[in-house]
Amino acid sequence: MKPANIRTAAAAALFTVGMGLIPTSETQAAGAGCGGASWYALTSKTASGERMNPSRLTAAHRSLKFGTKVQVTNKRNGKSVVVRINDRGPFIRGRVIDLSKAAASQIGMVRSGTASVCYQVINS
């Protein structure tokens, strides 16, 4: 890559992080991070092609490979759940993962709708 292109790529990455499109924690380590989580219970097709099932322990993440198992821990109460990544998202600033309703229920965040969580890749 030419020096001018390197500067342009670096500026674009900083702009993207600064605008909140990619949380800083994800730029540091794609295998772990902390931030906001929300849940969803649609029955439409996911980005992986399978139908979303709110009763399964699944989640959406912006960049982790489909099929990756991730442990998600609610920072408020310490409850954890292991989910499988099968969709893309979330697309809201500050959020790092979207959980199925079943996963959100296991970590006690259905009523609030959102929670502050940390996640760790278990296998990819």
**Cα distances (angstroms) measured from residue 62 to each of 27, 58, 79, 93, 97:** 12, 14, 23, 12, 8
Whether 8 has a pLDDT exceeding 70, the answer reads: no
What confidence tens digit (pLDDT) does each residue in 17-31 have? 334 444 444 433 568
Q: Does the pLDDT at position 92 exceed 70?
A: yes
What pLDDT is attached to residue 26?
Answer: 44
119 band by pLDDT with thresholds 50, 70 and 90: very high
Q: Write down the mean pLDDT value for the chain.
A: 82
Q: Rounded distance, CA 15 to CA 22, Å?
A: 10
For residue 39, give the nearest of 86, 92, 109 by alpha carbon: 109
